Structure 1
Amino acid sequence: MFRLAALFLALSPATAFACGQPVCLVDPDSLSLTKIITFEGERAGAGPGHNIDDVLPLQGATFGEHFAGQSVGARGPHDEVSGDAFAPLTMMAGRAGQNLSLVHFSGNTVLNGYGSAGFPKRDAQGEGAIAVLFDQDQSALAFDLRGGEDGAALVHFYRRDGSFIGPVPVQPTGEFAVAFLRSDGHADIAGFVLTNTDPQGLALDSLRFGKPPDMS
């Protein structure tokens, strides 16, 4: 009973208002999320991994580099995404060799974004943007960061109509889970873009999302 009460408290808008931002960085253990994408079972490889030059549709979400309407530039070897997204929010892949790869990493399969240096160069691996478009709008989500070396990451959240909800910085980066909760309780997160300036780049694993069923 205590665990259930704590869950409802963690998911309440009042808790999220404490951060003072549209989307709050929260304890991953405070969220009850019913769906997970692990990338296990997808074609992957060691080293630079299996190159993906198109969008990657999986059950519940589609992965790419940015959304239609946005531009992708470079900050050193890292991708920098700018501009407004078009409505409706539409996933776009990066240029050939500058999109995504699936890599075997420490016994798991993780998703890399590839930067402007291009696949399979080490200077590009993990330096690129990763965009996620959910099949259904969300109020909360979580994922694992892999390969971080005390750098910085930034997550930009968007609604289905392309409007910008807000940014959430994650710094320093490392090997840990991060979770995000909409501060007003609305389920209007249609997608996000993850970029980083980590010296070793970042990968994404174990994307969790989905509300618990309404038992009322």
Structure 2
Amino acid sequence: MVTTGFGAKIGCVLAACAFAAAAEAGGIAVVECDVLNLPVQIDFENFPRVVNGTKYDDLLSFPGATIGERFAGQALAEFRTFDLLDLNASAPLRLLAGAPGQNLSVEARGQRQNTLYGVGPLGFERKSGSGEGAISILFTADQQAIGASFELEMAYAGSPPPGSVRIAFFGRDAALLGEVSFSGQGRTRACFQTEGAGIAGVSITNTDIQGISIDDIAFSNVPVLG
């Protein structure tokens, strides 16, 4: 289960993926995915199914959203082998790709579906580079709620404590709407909602042991009125 300062709780898709509370949600609440109407879903099943992954050095565009590394104005730094982003995006919110070989990759996880990885400082050519990079998503229309699936490392005997996933939510004017952070293991489905200004974009970073991937990004193409 997840608990935030709002008192909202959600259950994980798998029992093994219970994860910890969000500390600084700001104007963002973690909510039950079942109560939301998010008809648009981005998966990566139309991409080549490659076990070792395929790198993408440019922005990835989909109906209703574009995916890259970070937003213009965000400083990119390294923390161990992970990307680290600050929260100072420039207005209006504009998406940037990462350096060649350090942007995005799509990889087939075993016999399951394709998932999206951010490629970190070690680069795509190093297996450990995928999953440790930043991922940022810019929505065409402002969103009242969004959701996604997160694949985190499974714990094993003697493994170090899990790292964390950090999601920053931005308005169209690049104002920070709030942050959510969590840790856990396995495949986790999580949804987020705001009652204030619409969500124009999100930045996702992590310090998970083996990095993370994301899939099934859900949202609506109906603009937020306000």
Q: Please, which runs of 5 or more residues in structure 1 have no aligned partner?
A: 1-15
Match of 2:124 in 1: 119
Which piece of structure 1 moves more, 29-38 or 157-166? 29-38
Match of 1:3 in 2: none
One-letter identity of the residue aligned with 1:181: Q
Q: Deviations over 1:153-185 (max 9, x none)?
A: 000000111111111112224311011011xx2
Match of 2:192 in 1: 180
Question: Are 1:33 and 2:38 counterparts?
Answer: yes
Q: Please, which runs of 5 or more residues in structure 2 have no aligned partner?
A: 9-24, 155-161
Task: Kindly indicate whether the alpha-carbon contact (under 8 Å) linking 1:148 and 1:200 is maintained by their aligned counterparts in 2.
Answer: yes
Q: Deviations over 1:71-122 (max 9, x none)?
A: 1111111110014111111010011111000111142111000000001212
Q: Please, which of 113, 134, 142 is the counterpart of residue 137 of structure 1? A: 142
Question: Are 1:98 and 2:117 counterparts?
Answer: no
One-letter identity of the residue aligned with 1:140: A
1:148 is displaced (CA, Å) by 3.1
One-letter identity of the residue aligned with 2:177: I
Which piece of structure 1 moves more, 118-127 or 35-44? 35-44
1:151 is displaced (CA, Å) by 2.8
Q: Please, which of 67, 71, 89 is the counterpart of residue 85 of structure 1? A: 89
One-letter identity of the residue aligned with 2:86: S
| Alpha-carbon separation, structure 2, partners of 1:86 and 1:140 | 22
One-letter identity of the residue aligned with 1:120: E
| Alpha-carbon separation, structure 2, partners of 1:134 and 1:98 | 22
Match of 1:152 in 2: 164
1:65 is displaced (CA, Å) by 0.4
Task: Kindly indicate whether the alpha-carbon contact (under 8 Å) linking 1:152 and 1:173 is maintained by their aligned counterparts in 2.
Answer: no
Match of 1:5 in 2: none
The structure-2 alpha-carbon separation of the partners of 1:195 and 1:151, relative to structure 1 and needing over 3 Å to count, comes to: same
| Alpha-carbon separation, structure 2, partners of 1:61 and 1:173 | 27
1:202 is displaced (CA, Å) by 0.3
TM-score, structure 1 as length reference? 0.84
Q: Secondary structure at the match of 1:88?
A: coil
| Alpha-carbon separation, structure 2, partners of 1:177 and 1:58 | 21
The structure-2 alpha-carbon separation of the partners of 1:44 and 1:193, relative to structure 1 and needing over 3 Å to count, comes to: farther
Q: Please, which of 191, 206, 209 is the counterpart of residue 216 of structure 2? A: 206
1:38 is displaced (CA, Å) by 0.8
The structure-2 alpha-carbon separation of the partners of 1:148 and 1:26, relative to structure 1 and needing over 3 Å to count, comes to: farther
Question: Are 1:191 and 2:201 counterparts?
Answer: yes
1:56 is displaced (CA, Å) by 0.7
In the comparison of the two structures, how many residue pairs are matched?
A: 195
